[in-house]
Amino acid sequence: MAPPMIDPALFDQLKSNIEEDTSVRKALDQILDDLNQHVSFTQGVLSRIHSTPRSKYAALLEQVEGGIKKEIETVGKLSAFASQYPYYKYNHKWTRMVQDAISTALLCSWLGGMSTESKPGEIGRLLTLEDVGSVFGIPVNLKDRDAFHITIEEYLLGLISVIDELGRLSVNSVTLGDNAMAVQISGFVKDLHAGFQVLNLKNDILRKRVDSIKYAVKKVEDVVYDLSLRNLIPAQDSK
């Protein structure tokens, strides 16, 4: 009888490779379940900014920073595990959760949290991509080596989530009587919208999400219009 078409060793090799791939994904799923819980908790605490006056942000942000600290620990574990394999082979599994974690850090710092020795916390502070990397202890935009890192797309998509959240906050801050906050949010959102116009976007998820920024811009502009119509813009800001 002629030798078989397929070498039995080939089957064994492919089978073991596929099984290893499966076990890697299962291990990632466990880490990402933890990360998902921490992100959800942090987002839940942050949702209280819509019913908390500015004077009580400090206590709230302390809880948020506690949640972010847990996120940082879990992302550290994810980084240690994922760096053993090609980054882009599995990054679709975690990219959404990393975006959400980034958005919680960005929103917390904008509200005055995440202060460090060199950069005190103040309302309106935007973390850059490098700042986010140092917060999480993760490299950003890696090119020279293949390891876990935060990509530009993840940072930008996280930033867009923050813009949506601030659009909502501008409405609720007026309800809470904090008109200056609404004005500040309006300026910030419009500045970022101008910044996003600088990008040359292709037809991908980033472009779809950037297109939604204009609705947040309209929302914050409507709020400022309503305030100015009723002469409610804080005097010192208009000067």
Partner 1 sequence: MGDKQLPEKTPLDRKTSDYTMSGFKRDWNGNAKRRDGPKPAQRQVVRNAYTPMFEQLRNELDEHHDRRERIVKASRDITALSKKMTLTLCIVISVRNIESQLPANIQAEVDSRLAEIAKLLAAIAPEIQGINRYRYSRSLMCLEELVEALTFAHYLKTQTLISHDQLSPIVEELARQGAASEDEVMTDARDTPATPPKPRQAEAPKVSLTQDDYLYGVFDLTGEMMRFATTSTALTGTMASGVTGDGDDTPRTIVQDMHELGSFFEMLPVVPGNRFAWEKKLDITRQSVQKVERLGYDRIIRGSERPKGWLPDLSSADQGQSEELE
Contact 109, 127 (CB under 8 A): yes
Q: Which is nearer to partner 1, 72 or 206 (CB)?
A: 206
Total residues interacting with partner 1, rule: CB under 8 A? 63
Phi, psi of 150 (to 5 degrees): -95, 125
Q: Is 81 in the site for partner 1 (CB under 8 A)?
A: no
Burial of 67 (0-12, 13-18, 19+ CB in 10 A): buried
Cβ atoms of 170 and 181 within 8 Å: the answer is yes
Considering only residues 199-218, where is the footprint of partner 1 by CB under 8 A? 199-203, 206-207, 214, 217-218
Closer of 64 and 183 to partner 1 (Cβ): 183
Nearest distance from residue 79's CB to partner 1, in Å? Answer: 14
Contact 42, 34 (CB under 8 A): no
Binding mask 20-59 for partner 1 (x = CB under 8 A): -xx--x----------------------------------
Q: 3, 51, 59, 236: which one contacts partner 1 (CB under 8 A)?
A: 3
Among 44, 53, 86, 177, binds partner 1 (CB under 8 A): 86
Which residues from 133-192 bind partner 1, rule CB under 8 A?
Answer: 141-147, 152-153, 155-156, 190-192
CB of 2 to partner 1, least distance (A): 5
Q: Can you tell me which of 72, 123, 126, 176 binds partner 1, judged by CB under 8 A?
A: 126
Candidate list 72, 171, 176, 233; residue touching partner 1; CB under 8 A? 233
Q: Which of 30, 128, 134, 212 binds partner 1 (CB under 8 A)?
A: 128
Chain residues binding partner 1 by CB under 8 A are 1-7, 9-11, 13-15, 17-19, 21-22, 25, 86-89, 126, 128-129, 141-147, 152-153, 155-156, 190-203, 206-207, 214, 217-218, 221, 224-225, 228, 231, 233, 238
